[in-house]
Amino acid sequence: MTFYSIAKAVVKTILTPVYRIEVHGREHFPAEGGVLLCSNHIDNLDPPVVGITAPRPVSFMAKEELFKVPVLGKVVANLNAFPVKRGMSDREAIRKGLRYLKEGKVLGLFPEGTRSKDGEIRKGLAGAGFFALRTEAAVVPCAIIGPYKMFRKLKVIYGPPIDMAELRSSKASAEEATEVIMETIRQLKEQHR
């Protein structure tokens, strides 16, 4: 067993009953090939919740600061996460993300870039659209519907992959592609409130 699978089992045992996590749409998740998994971001627990509910291992881009925290940094790195510098173009993180998708892995992103304090879905950053347009990866939207309150239901909804073919062929901008992704996440959230 890998560190990832052990950690997933432990975290799942703890978080699932505490937040009464309910998952919908796992059947939409491609069984193989590169997947760009894009989710809204409402709490620090979003990455582990997505990690335990996704049917395949997820590699997250995580803010660089996390890797500098003693112990936590090592744990995050062992969970397939890799650092990204916030607020600037991080070429190394971009290269790594593209490589993961081309290798058929699952890359997890929170396109908003930071948590939404009121739970409303904000405008996404262009990075998600960039990865969606530059690879043939399936783009899977995910809506986390909170709040994170003990013993209150938390929903995680996976939608069908977003068809990016038209956007790729029309040479859409990364911003336009991100807006399509964010709008799809908004719709998922509305449908499953």
Which domains are delineated in the chain?
3-191 (3.40.1130.10)
> What is the spatial distance between Cα 34 and Cα 187, in angstroms, rounded to a whole number?
24
Confidence band of 15 (pLDDT split at 50, 70, 90): very high
Q: How far from each other are the two terminal CA atoms of the chain, in whole angstroms?
A: 37
116: helix, coil or strand?
coil
pTM metric for this prediction: 0.93
CA distances from 118 to 59, 64, 143 (A): 26, 24, 15
Q: What percent of the chain has pLDDT over 90?
A: 72
Give phi and psi for 82, each to the nearest 5.
Answer: -140, 150
**Amino acid residing at 58:** V
Q: How confident is the model at residue 172 (pLDDT cuts 50, 70, 90)?
A: very high
pLDDT tens, residue by residue, 71-126: 888 888 888 888 888 665 778 888 999 999 999 999 999 999 888 888 888 999 89
- Supply φ then ψ for residue 93, to 5 degrees: -65, -40
Q: What is the mean pLDDT of the chain?
A: 92
Residue 156 neighbours by CB under 8 Å, 6+ apart: 21, 22, 23, 24, 49, 50, 53, 142, 143, 144, 145
**What confidence category does residue 182 fall into, taking pLDDT thresholds of 50, 70 and 90?**
very high
Specify the DSSP element, H or E, that contains 99.
helix 91-102
**pLDDT for 139-151, tens place per residue?**
999 999 988 999 9
The pLDDT assigned to 189 comes to: 95
* DSSP calls for 123-172: PPPHHHHHHHHHS--EEEEEEEE----TTS-EEEEEPPPB--HHHHHTT-
